[in-house]
Chain A
C-alpha cells in the first residue's frame, strides 16, 4: 500500500523553527526551514542530521518550499543550503523571495555583529542561497520533475504568504504554512479549492481560540496609543522594517484620520521608504480594497506618517515613533528608548517577539533597571506593553479550511501540544477523519489508497454508457466486462474482442454438453414444448426461445431432445452451454427441468 510519511524536524507540538519533511510517492520534500527564536544554541536550527548523518542534503531532498518570510519559517535556509549543503530547487512566492533576504540579513547582523557569534551564515551565503530560489506564482502548477507538482494558494498572514498543494500521481498533501481566514487591514483571507488532499498539514497557533481576536488586539493597541497621546506622552514602537510595521502604520493612519488626531507619527529612517515600496510593488498580494483603490490612493503612501529625524526625539509634546530594530538591541529604537525611558507618561509597545539578551526581552520580563555600557544604569519608568499582532487562523478558521479542502487526514503542527490535543478531538469528532500531531522527530505514516488510472477504449465506454441508460440504476448495477492490457507502462482497458484481436489470439470456445436421460411418455416435440413452457414460467426475465429446428434456447444455452430408438419413452436431453454463461446456473436449469418432468409424470 502506498504511504505518505510526515516528520516534523521543527514545529512538531511547538511554535518556532518550522521544518517538516514529507515523503510522498517516492519524493522527499522539505516544508519551511525556520529557526527557533527562543534558543541560541544548536536547537536554534532544525536537526538536519535526521535526514543524513554525513553532509549534503541534495540527494535526499527533491525540493524545499518556503511558505512565507517570517524567520521561524525561513531563518535556517542559508544554514541548510550553504552550510549543511543543498543545491536543489527552493520554491517561494515573489514577495517572499524579495523580502526574505532582507530579514535574514537583519537577523544575521544581530547575531553576528552585535552578539559576536561565530559559526553563523554570512551575507554571501544569504545571496548564494537566494540564487537557488525559484519564484512561485499563485495557482500556477509547477512541475518540479515529471511526477512531482506543486501549486501555491493565497494564505493571508503576511505579504506573499502561501499554502502549498503537493501532488505525486493521485496522492497529495497540503501544507498551510501560517494562514489567516479573515481579511485584515492589508491582507485578504486564505483560500483553497476542494482539492481533497490525503493529508492537510495545518498550523494550529490559535487552536483553542474561537473568535477573531485580532480586532480586539487592534482596538487594545489603539486605545493604549490614544491614551498615552492624550496625556501628552510619547509612544515608541520598535519594529522590524517589514511586515508588522506596515500593518501598524495602516492601523494608525486610518485611526488618525478617523479621530482627526494631530499628534505626529514618525517612522525612523532607513528602510521605511524602501519597505513601503515592497508593499506598493506587490499590491496584487494585498486585500481587495487596497488593490481596487491603489491608483487613486495607495494605502502605503501615508499622509500622517512622516520620516523621523534624530532631533525630533527631544521635541516636547506627544508623538508616536516607529523605530528599527524591533528588539531594542541597537540603533535608533534603542537611542530613543534611552531618552524616553525615564518618564512614566511614555510608553513602549513591543509588537513582536524578543530574543533573549536583548533589552526588549529584559523589559518584557519586567526588569526595571538596565545596565548600560560604561556601568551606567537606566531606570525604566515608562510603561511597557507587549502585543502580538501575528495573524493566524483561529479554531473556527482551521475548521473552515478543512471544510474547504476536504482532506482525508489531518496533521497539526506549529502549536502547543495541549491546545493541539483539544483541536484534534474536535476535528476527529466533527469530520470523522484521523488527526495526527507528531512531535519533532516523530514520523507519522498515513496509508493512502489511490485508485488506479487506466485508459478505457472509448468504444467500450460509450457502449457501456449507452446500455446503462441515461440514469444509472443503483439497485441493479450492470456488470461490465473488459480486458485490461498491461504493456510497458500503459494500462488499457478494452473490450475482450478487441483485446484478442490486438494480441493476435484466437478465442477459445469452451463448451459443455450434458446428456440427461428422462422418462417421458409424450412425443419428442411435446416434451420439448413442455420443457419450453415450463422454463418460460419459471425463468422470468430470461430470453427463452423455441426454435423451429426443435431446440430450446435459454439465453445461449441450447437444449435438444432426442429419444432413443429402442424406448421412445426414454428421452435424452442434450444441454450445451459455453463457458461464458455464468449468470444462469446450469445445474439450476437442470434441476428445474427434472422437477417439472418428474411432477408431470
Chain B
C-alpha cells in the first residue's frame, strides 16, 4: 500500500492512495496562495495600478518592465493570476479510479485533474459539497473572465531570471506548473463526473474496497472518509471541526481502530480562538460604522460567512446597527444563500429542528426579508444605484487579487475611517494587502478557522487509536514563526509519518487475510472436530471462484464414478482425533485406543513390539505390519488385498 503526495499544502491536500487493486485520490485542493504574487485585477480601470513602475534589475541587465511591476518595494507579476496545481508528474493521473472529496474547499483543482488527463474514473462527494463547490468554481471563473487580461507573463519564470528577482517571487516553487483558471465548460464537465453520496453510505469499489464518508463538522456536507476492506482500515481526516457551528457534528467513533490515519486540514491559526475572533470582528465592525466608516470583509461566498451573518443577526440590534446596510456581493451570492437553507439533513441538530417548524435554518433569511442584508451579483447594475454608505460589504476574493473586493480596496483604501476585516485564514493579510500599499484604511485581522487545533487532535487520536498516523511535515514541527511552541505540533507514539509534496510513502501494512464465502452446500459438508477446547478444525477441499474481486468456494463437482474396486476395503474406522476425508493428518495415534479399535473390528491377534520411537504391531492373521511412531504410521501389508487402515 502506497501513498503519493501531490500537494504540499497541509489544508489543501491532494494525495493518492494505492490500496489493494484500487487507486484512490483523496481530495484535490488547489493552492491559490500563488496568486499573491500577481497584481490585482481591477473591475474598472485603476490609474494607480496602471502607473506602477516596471521592474528592472539593479544592474540593469534584466528588463522585465512589461511583466513585472513594483509596488511599495514588492514585485508583482502583471498577468492573469495563476494557481499552483497538484503535482502531475508523480503518477499517471489516468490510472486514478476514484476521487474522494472531503469538502468544497478541497475540490477546486478538480477540473485540472479530470480534464485533459485521460481520467475516466468517478468522483464521490456529498450533495452540499458538490453544489457549493460548483458555486465557488463558478465564482472563480466569473472573477477571471469578467476582466480578461491578454497578457500572459512567462519570461520571469525562466530559472536564470527568477533567481535574480526579489523575494518572495524568487522563492516561488514549481512556477512552470502554475496554470491559469479553468473555463466554465471544464467545470461542468468535471462536475458531471461526480456521484453523490450520503454520510455513512457504503460505496463498494470494484468489490475490493469499501469507502464511506463521515460527517466532519467543518462545513456543509464536509466529510472524512473511511477506506476499508474486510481486514484493513484507512481513515482519511481532512478539515474537521469540533466546534458547534452550522454543520452536523463530527462523527468521531467511526474513525476508531484504523490501521492508518491520514491527517490533513488542521487549523491554520492554532493560536487564534474562533469565538474570540468573532467577538473582535463584531466590535471592530460596530466601531467603524459608528465613526462613519465603511467595513470591508473579504470572504468566500460560503462557509464562515453564514456564521458571520448569524452572529450579526444577534448583534445588530444590541449594537444599534439596525439601519446600516449589509451587502453581500458575489456572482453566486443569491445561490449560496438559497442553497444554505435547503440542506437540513446536513445541519446541526438545532438548525434541523427549525426546519421541522418549518422555518429557514439560517437567520439570514430574515435579514434578507427585512432588507437589512442585500445581495448583488456584482458592483455593476442595481448595486451602484442602491448603494448607501456607511455600510458593510462582504465580498470576494479573500486574496484581494480579483473579484469585487479589488474595487472596494481602491475605493476605500485611502480613508482611515474605513476598515478591512480579514476573517479567512487562507492568506497572509500582509501579503494580501501588499499591492495596495501605502494604505490609510484600518486593517483588522480576525482569522476564523474552526478546524481542529493540536490540542483537539491529540485528544481525538487518543480516542480513536490509529496504529499509524500520516500527516504533512508541517505538523511534525512547531510553526517557523513560533519555534518555541512545542505544543503546536503533533507528538505521537509511534511518531507520525511526515509527507511533503512529491513524497511517496509505503504505508506500514501487512495484509494477511481476505474475505471469502463458502457456499452453503460446501459449508454443510464440512465436518469440524474440536482439537483443543474452543478450537475446531475442518478440512476444506473446494473449488475457488474469483469474480469482481469477490471470492467464493464451491464444493468439488462429483467426478464421474470410478469403477468400484473390489479390493478396497475399509476395515477400521478412523480414530477420533483424525478427521474424516482429510488428506492431512496430525497428532500421534494412541496405542491403546488403536488396539481397541482393531479389536472391535475382529482383529485380535496382535503382537506388539516396543521400539525406540513407538511400537510395531504385527497383525498375524492378516500378515500385516504396522509401525506406529510419534509422527508417522507405516502400514506394510503383504498380500495384494491390503488392509487399508486408518
Contacts and interface: CB of A to CB of B under 8 A. Distances in A.
B477 to A, nearest CB: 38
A457 B588 contact: no
Nearest to A291: B342
A590 B540 CA distance: 29
B541 interface: yes
B417 to A, nearest CB: 36
A533 B316 CA distance: 104
Contacts of A455: 230-231, 513-516
Interface stretch (A13-21, A61-69, A277-285): A277-285
Contact of B543 (A97, A142, A478, A510): A478
Nearest to A481: B541
Contacts of B430: none
A472 B552 contact: no
A510 B635 CA distance: 8
A374 to B, nearest CB: 39
Contact of A140 (B200, B338, B589): B200
Interface string A430-463: 0000000000000000000111111111110100
A88 interface: no
Contact of A512 (B539, B553, B644): B644
B274 interface: no
Interface in B326-360: 334-335, 338-339, 341-345, 352, 355-356, 358-360
Contact of B512 (A137, A278, A458, A511): A458
A514 B583 contact: no
Interface stretch (A27-35, A198-206, A325-333, A499-507): A499-507
Contacts of B637: 512-515
B384 interface: no
Interface in B191-239: 197-202, 212, 230-231
A516 B555 CA distance: 37
Contacts of B517: 451-454
A278 B341 CA distance: 11
Nearest to B633: A510
Instruction: Tell which of B198, B230, B541, B562 has the most Cβ of chain A within 10 Å.
Output: B198
Contacts of A587: 565, 567-568
Interface string B523-558: 100101001101111111111111000011100110
A600 interface: no
Interface in A26-56: none
A486 interface: yes
Nearest to B584: A496
Contacts of B541: 479-482
Contacts of B352: 94, 135
A114 interface: no
B587 interface: yes
Interface in B52-85: none
B523 A452 contact: yes
B535 A485 contact: yes
Interface string B138-149: 000000000000
Contacts of A282: 342, 344, 355
A483 B539 contact: yes
Contact of B201 (A140, A483, A585): A140
Interface in A312-326: none
Given A284-B343, A487-B535, A454 B584 contact: no
B532 to A, nearest CB: 7
A151 B634 CA distance: 60
Given A295-B335, A457-B512, A98 B356 contact: yes
Interface residues of B, number: 85
Nearest to A583: B559
B543 A456 contact: no
B171 interface: no
A382 B394 CA distance: 59
A283 B128 CA distance: 13
Nearest to A573: B640
A26 B553 CA distance: 26
A92 to B, nearest CB: 12
B1 interface: no
A142 B583 contact: no
B511 interface: yes
A450 B552 CA distance: 12
B585 interface: yes
A309 interface: no
A142 B201 CA distance: 8
A461 B514 contact: yes
A507 B536 contact: no
Contacts of A310: none
B571 interface: no
B520 interface: yes
A587 B570 CA distance: 14
Contact of B338 (A141, A295, A464): A295
Nearest to B625: A513
Contacts of A185: none
Nearest to A130: B356
B631 interface: yes
B539 A508 contact: no
A450 B522 CA distance: 11
B567 A513 contact: no
B127 interface: yes
A484 B540 contact: yes
B642 interface: yes
Interface of A: 94, 97-98, 135, 137-142, 151, 274, 277-278, 280-284, 294-295, 449-459, 461, 464-465, 468, 472, 477-488, 492-493, 496, 499-500, 503, 505-516, 579-580, 582, 585, 587-588, 590
Closest 5 CB pairs of A and B: A509-B632, A451-B517, A508-B585, A505-B586, A486-B536
Given A452-B523, A486-B536, 5 more contacts: A280-B342, A455-B515, A456-B513, A472-B545, A486-B538
24 contacts: A94-B345, A94-B352, A94-B355, A97-B356, A139-B197, A284-B342, A451-B552, A452-B517, A452-B520, A453-B515, A458-B511, A458-B514, A461-B551, A477-B557, A478-B543, A478-B544, A482-B539, A483-B540, A485-B537, A486-B528, A506-B586, A511-B632, A514-B638, A580-B583
